[in-house]
Amino acid sequence: MSNPVELKNHQREIFNFRFRLAISIGFVLLLLVILLLRFIYLQALRHDYYQTLAESNRISIVPIVPNRGLILDRNGVVLAHNYSGYTLEITPSKLKNLEATINELSALVEIAPRDRKRFKKLLAESRNFETLMIRNRLSNEEVARFAAQQYRFPGVEIKARLFRDYPYSDKTSHLIGYIGRINQTDVEQLEENELAANYRGSDYIGKTGLEQSYESELHGATGVEQVEVDSAGRAVRILSRTPPVSGNTLVLSIDAKLQEIAEQSFGNYRGALVAIDPNNGEVLAFVSKPGYDPSLFVDGIDPESWDELNNSPDHPLNNRALRGQYPSGSTIKPFMALAGLYYNIRSPGRAISDPGYFTLPGSSHQYHDWKKGGHGSVDMFKSIVISCDTYYYGLATELGIDNIFSFLSRFGFGKKTGIDLEGETSGLLPSQEWKMKRYKEKWYAGDTVSVGIGQGYNLVTPMQLAYATTTLANNGVGYKPHLVKEVRSSRNNENRLIEAKPEFDMKLDPAHLDLVKRAMAAVTQPGGTAAQASVGASYHIAGKTGTAQVVAMKPGEKYDASKISERNRDHAWFIAFAPAEQPKIALVVLAENGGHGGSTAAPIARRVMDYYLLGKVPKPLPDLPEEEVDQHD
Amino acid sequence: MTKRQLWQRFIAQLDLPLLAGIGLLMLTSLLILYSASDGNWGRVLGQSENMLVALLCMWAVANLPLHYLMRTALPVYLLGMALLVCVALFGEISHGARRWLNLGVATIQPSELMKIGVPLMMAWYFEKHEATLTLKNYFIAALLLLMPIALIARQPDLGTAILISASGFYVLFLAGLSWRVIGTLFVAALASAPVLWSMLHDYQRHRILMLFDPSQDALGKGYHTIQGMIAVGSGGIFGKGYLDGTQTHLDFLPERTTDFIFAVYSEEFGLIGNLIMLSLYFFVIARGFIITANASTYFTRLMAGSITLTFATYAFVNMGMVSGILPIVGVPLPLISYGGTSMLTLLLGFGMLMSIETHKNLVKT
């Protein structure tokens, strides 16, 4: 240090410190004086002004909740709308004895045990000073009866409110979703996104489905009313009003009638169906069966109904189309065949001889074909038509897992499709890297063999498979699938079209595509695995059947549907597009525990295509035929 | 030992004037809370519990001899810094800010710890280099302040960052930072205001802009300012009377028990009430300054001065925010607002003040 170090003079230092302290005291005094002046300004000089604001003209700022936007199908059929009705509401913080009040109320208005339970649940979740609904959809008579007695019930009131209604109920529940009361998590989320102001006064928010993913379009802008209230807080007159702006209307690409037919075609089967227009990615039908009644959720579901839905073995709350992950089974074969052609592993004409099983070099383990004794000589075309397993065991082995992974991921396997719904799962397209990460184990040649026929590690969602089928139908040009076609603004009647633009082009060889598509068309012809699907059809259907195992079978064990309990039966797949030459619709059908794709899933697809292409409304379902012999997939 | 002797020993390390001031403010707090919560005893009892716990902690700190207090400086600071880094890396996000750290048992907000930790560390640092203070030491002390501030401002928690900056600046000021440097810093701060402005989050800018025109955002944050000013202004000279505040009881005032509790008080007790409250605060602050002036060591002088000035700043910022001269930054009214954390931090500070006062004769420089 260049400066001479000197010990400081203690006295001087104390003096310096006290000087600084005196300045600090002056600073604090200054702050106090500023506050004092401010108080004098507000409370003495401007008191009259604020007194007027607060006392004689108490201005209350009342939010006006906008009407939620409608949801329409592509033809204008209403899938979600609002209707007005009366509710009976209680503000618990204004009541002394809640239980007694509810008991007294039940003498005037019917209050079912279910209403009480729901109210209790709302009460437990509510914030301070909140008004909670005890009964909705009051009849006019009930409204009149209560109105006459209202003076006896301070803190209880009747409110006219808009309710959300879903005309198609469980048929569109997984697609439209539902709105529900705003809870603490929603509040935090809104505050985080700086949206809390626009939700003042709003009680509902989209919870699942399109109601959730398009919340920002549907909600609308909250209006403000400056209201003069008297000393008891009652509104006296409106001073100014900024009207709310209703939410935008969503026009879906879904065809409600098609959706209904698809849903009904499942009969008693659980499962999923996704139909897409391959020319633009518009989703035409989106079914997950069984559905549930979304109106149960709108005003808070009572615990009993919730348990019933949640514990049902049918899992009605599970969105199978979007979130269900299943082995793809043989539906993967057309894509595998394309991979074989793409990497030049198999030429179309090369036939293998199928003894009914496949062995890896240097191993005696037999991978069985579904048909005992095999299919004889099988080339690529035939391998798709009859769904020969042995052919694909060999093809996958020759391709190797790395090529399979890279080719199939271009079709969107193992990735979310990006459809405009939240909560999509990404399925699983296995790779060496994945297995090392997941199981800390290297990839074995045997793993590749089962991937070849869509078993083993691989998992797909119906949505994904539909996307891949659409891309195949459209010759490798992919359109991102979407449910909303158009957003109609309520503000200026402007329509925003969701544009369909190709996301990618795989640049596949037309000759390869032609072979695979022709083979798929032959699948629905006599000799193919889904022959009965096109009996009497006036157009050509290209398709592929598949079976997803629910329980793994021991080696050598024969699958016998009759011996296996219904829930453990195989899932049936069918992917298809039609007309095969110039596809207008591509779809995937999954029938859980449906057994064979050809006999259970394909007829569902046929009904949907008949309606979409020919306008043919199917007759009510006959009992589904039991599966015939020698029919796999 | 008789009961009386036991009692005397129990309160021996407490500074009674300071305790009286704190106690009066606390009683006021319970009184207002009862009104602000619409007669909710749960809130009043909850706040009493907060006070009791905080008072016990204050007692413990007041009984801590000064050299122990000094020894805690470095560990507390380092712990606080480590926790702040943890928050930045894997803190929990809530309301758009990453402030909380989930320890499994409890969720903590490390920036609260630094309200004590930063001035403690800086005072300790100056004490260590007291004999040979040069500009370099001030620079290092400023760095000790700026590191946690940067982390807290990034969370973002502007209110806390400003308050900790203030408490650190007070230490620098009392430690004798030259006027020339202070002047330069002031000019630099003014010059960098546009840069800082561009670094603020949208909602923070929004809050500052709103100060000039609260009606811009009548449903959102502007609503707070408007209703706060109406409550204070309509209180007039004598107030509307206890439990008779219309702004409060007709649900116009937001955050009545926490950040805006002063508006409740001001509406019901008027200008006279405000004068009483300012006097109470001034009494506590004045006692703090007396303790500061009598403090026996460099460390204790800096610490006591910073604690007292920071307390004054808290009170000013909250009342200024409610009465519409400062932006809404989310600072509670010290010793009055509902909430356990700020109560605890404040009383830990007062515990130190008391220890400084009652142990001053044990260490003479």
Residue A38 lies in a domain: no
What's the pLDDT score for residue A460? 94
Last residue of a domain, one of A252, A280, A309: A252
Is B42 near chain A, with CB under 8 Å? no
Q: Are residues A245 and A353 in the same domain?
A: no
Q: Are residues A122 and A157 in the same domain?
A: yes
What's the pLDDT score for residue B104? 65
Using CB atoms within 10 A of its CB, is residue A170 exposed (0-12), middle (13-18) or buried (19+)?
middle
Residue A2 lies in a domain: no
What's the pLDDT score for residue A559? 58
The DSSP call for residue A291 is: -
Residue B55: both structure tokens together: 């008072």
> CATH number, domain at A268?
3.40.710.10
Total of domains in chain A: 2
- Mutant choice from A17, A49, A94 vs B, greatest count of B C-beta within 10 A: A17
- Grade residue A627 by pLDDT with cuts at 50, 70 and 90: very low
**Confidence check: pLDDT of A1 > 90:** no
What's the pLDDT score for residue A552? 59
Q: Are residues A162 and A284 in the same domain?
A: no
What's the pLDDT score for residue B217? 62
Q: Are residues A450 and A500 in the same domain?
A: yes
Give the pairing type, strands A249-252 and A71-72.
Answer: parallel
Using CB atoms within 10 A of its CB, is residue A5 exposed (0-12), middle (13-18) or buried (19+)?
exposed
Rounded distance between C-alpha atoms, residue B99 and residue B22, angstroms: 29
What's the pLDDT score for residue A126? 66
- For the ranges A82-96, A552-566, B310-324, the lowest mean pLDDT is seen at A552-566
Q: Where are the alpha helices (DSSP H) in A360-509?
A: 380-385, 389-399, 401-410, 432-439, 445-451, 462-473
Of the candidates A128, A239, A203, the one whose C-alpha atom is nearest the C-alpha of residue B215 is A239
pLDDT 10s digits, A171-228: 999 999 999 888 878 888 888 777 888 888 888 899 999 999 999 999 998 888 877 7
**Confidence check: pLDDT of A242 > 80:** yes
The DSSP element (H or E) to which A133 belongs, if any, is strand A132-135
The DSSP element (H or E) to which B73 belongs, if any, is helix B66-90
**Confidence check: pLDDT of B135 > 90:** no
Which chain A residues contact residue B218 at CB under 8 A?
61, 224
The answer to whether A325 touches A459, Cβ cutoff 8 Å, is yes
pLDDT 10s digits, B335-344: 999 988 889 9
Residue A42 lies in a domain: no
Last residue of a domain, one of A216, A237, A252: A252
Residue A49 lies in a domain: no
**Confidence check: pLDDT of A13 > 90:** no
The answer to whether B304 touches B318, Cβ cutoff 8 Å, is no
Which chain A residues contact residue B93 at CB under 8 A?
192
- Grade residue B212 by pLDDT with cuts at 50, 70 and 90: low
**Confidence check: pLDDT of B298 > 60:** yes
pLDDT 10s digits, A23-41: 999 999 999 999 999 999 9
What's the pLDDT score for residue B62? 93
- Are A54 and B247 a contacting pair at CB < 8 A? yes
Longest dimension (CA), chain B: 67
Is B275 near chain A, with CB under 8 Å? yes
Q: Are residues A185 and A65 in the same domain?
A: yes
More confident residue, A613 or A565: A613
Q: Are residues A282 and A241 in the same domain?
A: no
- Grade residue A523 by pLDDT with cuts at 50, 70 and 90: very high
The DSSP call for residue A151 is: G
- A58: nearest CB among B93, B217, B246: B246
What's the pLDDT score for residue B291? 95
Is B169 near chain A, with CB under 8 Å? no
The answer to whether A159 touches A135, Cβ cutoff 8 Å, is no
Of the candidates A317, A314, A291, A290, the one whose C-alpha atom is nearest the C-alpha of residue A306 is A317
pLDDT 10s digits, B13-54: 899 999 999 999 999 999 999 999 888 888 899 999 999 999
- Grade residue A5 by pLDDT with cuts at 50, 70 and 90: very low
A191-250 residues touching B, CB cutoff 8 A? 191-194, 196-198, 200, 222, 224, 229, 231, 233
Residue A103: both structure tokens together: 């008991």
What's the pLDDT score for residue B214? 65
Residue A50 φ/ψ, nearest 5 degrees: -70, -30
What's the pLDDT score for residue B95? 57
Give the pairing type, strands A179-181 and A204-206.
Answer: antiparallel
Mean pLDDT, range A258-268, rounded to an integer: 92
A156-195 residues touching B, CB cutoff 8 A? 188, 191-194
Q: Are residues A226 and A334 in the same domain?
A: no
Which strands sit side by side in the sheet containing A223-229, from one edge to the other? A58-64, A223-229, A235-242
Residue A542 φ/ψ, nearest 5 degrees: -100, 135
pLDDT 10s digits, A566-604: 777 889 999 999 999 999 999 999 999 988 888 889 999
Give ∠ CA B86-B91-B94 in degrees, rounded to 5: 155
**Confidence check: pLDDT of B219 > 80:** no
What's the pLDDT score for residue A631? 46
Residue B235: both structure tokens together: 């209180």
Rounded distance between C-alpha atoms, residue B262 and residue B228, angstroms: 9
Rounded distance between C-alpha atoms, residue A126 and residue A120, angstroms: 10
Q: Are residues A265 and A235 in the same domain?
A: no
Q: Is A330 a catalytic residue?
A: yes
- Give me the helix-helix angle, B16-36 and B340-358, nearest 10°: 170
Q: Are residues A238 and A304 in the same domain?
A: no
Is B131 near chain A, with CB under 8 Å? yes
What beta strand segments (E) does B79-118 contain?
Answer: 92-94, 97-102, 107-108
A502 CB neighbour count, 10 Å cutoff: 13
Q: Is A221 helix (H, G, I), strand (E, B) or coil?
A: strand
Residue owning tokens 């006959």: A622
- Give me the helix-helix angle, B110-128 and B158-174, nearest 10°: 10
The DSSP call for residue A150 is: G
Average pLDDT, chain B: 87
Q: What's the distance, CA B43 to chain centroid?
A: 21
Rounded distance between C-alpha atoms, residue A541 and residue A534, angstroms: 7
Amino acid code (one letter) for A503: E
- Are A25 and B250 a contacting pair at CB < 8 A? no
pLDDT 10s digits, A329-347: 999 999 999 999 999 988 8
**Confidence check: pLDDT of A253 > 60:** yes
What's the pLDDT score for residue A628? 40
Q: Is A555 helix (H, G, I), strand (E, B) or coil?
A: coil
Residue B234: both structure tokens together: 């309509």
Range of the structural domain that residue A67 is part of: 61-252
Residue A524 lies in a domain: yes
What's the pLDDT score for residue B357? 92
Amino acid code (one letter) for A24: S
Question: A430-454: string of b/e by CB count within 10 Å (b at 16+)?
Answer: bbeebbeeeeeeebeeebbbbbbbb
The DSSP element (H or E) to which B123 belongs, if any, is helix B110-128
Residue A269 lies in a domain: yes
Give ∠ CA B267-A229-A153 in degrees, rounded to 5: 100
pTM of the model: 0.63
Catalytic residue, from A330, A383, A387, A599: name it.
A330
Of the candidates A222, A226, A225, A227, the one whose C-alpha atom is nearest the C-alpha of residue A197 is A222
A381 CB neighbour count, 10 Å cutoff: 17
Last residue of a domain, one of A252, A271, A296: A252
The answer to whether B267 touches B231, Cβ cutoff 8 Å, is yes
The DSSP call for residue B34 is: H
Mean pLDDT, range B79-91, rounded to an integer: 88
Average pLDDT, chain A: 86
What beta strand segments (E) does A493-532 contain?
Answer: 495-497, 502-505
The answer to whether B352 touches B42, Cβ cutoff 8 Å, is no
Rounded distance between C-alpha atoms, residue A161 and residue A155, angstroms: 18
Tell me the HSE value of A369 on the side-chain side, using a 13 A CA sphere.
Answer: 24
Which chain B residues contact residue A60 at CB under 8 A?
252
Rounded distance between C-alpha atoms, residue B70 and residue B298, angstroms: 11
The DSSP call for residue A567 is: G
Q: Are residues A243 and A262 in the same domain?
A: no
Mean pLDDT, range B150-164, rounded to an integer: 85
Is A535 near chain B, with CB under 8 Å? no
- Grade residue A620 by pLDDT with cuts at 50, 70 and 90: low
Query: ipTM > 0.90?
Result: yes
Which chain B residues contact residue A130 at CB under 8 A?
none
> CATH number, domain at A148?
3.90.1310.10
The answer to whether A466 touches A276, Cβ cutoff 8 Å, is yes
Q: What's the distance, CA B328 to chain centroid?
A: 15
Mean pLDDT, range B167-176, rounded to an integer: 92
Q: Are residues A246 and A272 in the same domain?
A: no
- Are A21 and B282 a contacting pair at CB < 8 A? no
Q: What residues are paired with A487 via a beta bridge?
A: A250, A496
The DSSP element (H or E) to which A25 belongs, if any, is helix A10-39
Rounded distance between C-alpha atoms, residue A468 and residue A588, angstroms: 10
Q: Are residues A491 and A354 in the same domain?
A: yes
Rounded distance between C-alpha atoms, residue A287 and residue A266, angstroms: 10
Residue A305 lies in a domain: yes
Residue A25 lies in a domain: no
Q: What's the distance, CA B63 to chain centroid?
A: 22
The Cα-based distances of B16 to A144, B12, B304 in angstroms read 66, 9, 16
The answer to whether A79 touches A229, Cβ cutoff 8 Å, is no
